[in-house]
Amino acid sequence: MTEGNFVDYVKLHVTSGNGGAGSAHLHREKFIEKGGPDGGDGGRGGHIIIRGKENLWTLLHLKFKRHLRAGHGGNGSKSRSTGQDGEDLYVDVPLGTTIKDTETDKVIFEITEDGQEFIAAQGGMGGRGNWHFKNSVNQTPRYAQPGIDGYEVSLTLELKVLADVGLVGFPNVGKSTLLSVITAAKPKIANYEFTTLKPNLGIVQYRDYQTFVIADIPGIIEGASEGKGIGHRFLRHIERNSTLLFMIPADADSISGQYEILLNELQKYNPEMLDKERLIAITKSDMLDDELRVELTQELDAELPIDYLFISAVTQQGLTALKDKLWQMLNK
């Protein structure tokens, strides 16, 4: 999937169907002059239903469908016949989609399972026919209820990527390169910041035909939690990853300092981020000779509070150990 086709944010205006009107029919038949009221009820209007689909990965199919409307209910008729219900409109979305009220920005629902349904706008009720209003005083009511109008609501759909492992790091530290080497994904790779503007997903083939999903998230900058750079657009994708792989280059001025900045941005955005499993990958380690690696190891052992590994996506150094460690963390 090309980067331009990854759509993770859309706004929709949805309208459910109007309910059908009840009938005010009076029964007429040969030899039955005064058969009484027999008007049927109107059918309900169609619902707008948002449904989870596991084979969808993006909201691209909704990008140009901003106004959605369900079918109207049919009117009631004679012989107490109920009008046909309006056709429901199903809006299929990928798993991990959050539904918000656009006006209040309040989260209404989250789709996390295949086939899970949420009625975003209920169809209007059908009006009752005149036979409901018959009583001892008024035996031939000549009125019926009109149908209730459908509901209109503006919704914002936000996709939070569902992946097992999320790659976290500053721009241009090798996240996309690693993804391209250990999965079949083909992310855009170049030597400048913010090459990746949308998350990329890849499936890692592990031992015995087992797999796990890894997500390349656009790079974090200091202040991302306040919305700097493209902050909020990508931080939400990290919320759904069970394990976070922090990627820091071996030539960084301070590896522990970069880790603290990244961790601080995640904590300010959502403190629950700190509850996730974390691992540090020291990238571009092919630049280190044996003496430098020993010296750096001693320094990191004293400074870093979590496990770390040396890797190089270019020379494929340490990648098997990385996959083993990630699999162990995912299945702890």
Domains of the chain: 3-159 (2.70.210.12), 165-330 (3.40.50.300)
- What is the CB neighbour count within 10 angstroms for residue 68? 17
Instruction: State the Cα torsion 176-177-178-181 to the nearest 10°.
Output: 120
Backbone angles phi, psi at 279, to 5 degrees: -145, 145
Using DSSP's 3-state secondary structure scheme, residue 52 falls into strand
What pLDDT was estimated at residue 192? 36
Interatomic CA distance for residues 300 and 308, integer angstroms: 9
What pLDDT was estimated at residue 52? 94
306, 278 contact by CB (below 8 A):
yes
- Do the bridges between strand 243-249 and strand 48-53 make them parallel or antiparallel, or are there none, so unpaired? unpaired
* CB-based contacts of 161, cutoff 8 Å, min separation 6: 8, 96, 199, 201, 215, 217, 237, 240, 241
* pTM exceeds cut of 0.85: no
Pick from 146, 133, 141, 145: which is nearest to 26 by CA? 141
What pLDDT was estimated at residue 86? 95
Pick from 307, 222, 235, 239: which is nearest to 273 by CA? 239
Using DSSP's 3-state secondary structure scheme, residue 89 falls into strand
Interatomic CA distance for residues 301 and 279, integer angstroms: 14
155, 11 contact by CB (below 8 A):
yes
Q: What does the chain come to in residues? A: 332
Pick out the chain residues at pLDDT < 70. 1-6, 31-32, 162, 184-199, 219-234, 236-237
187, 154 contact by CB (below 8 A):
no
What pLDDT was estimated at residue 230? 47
Residue type, 47: H
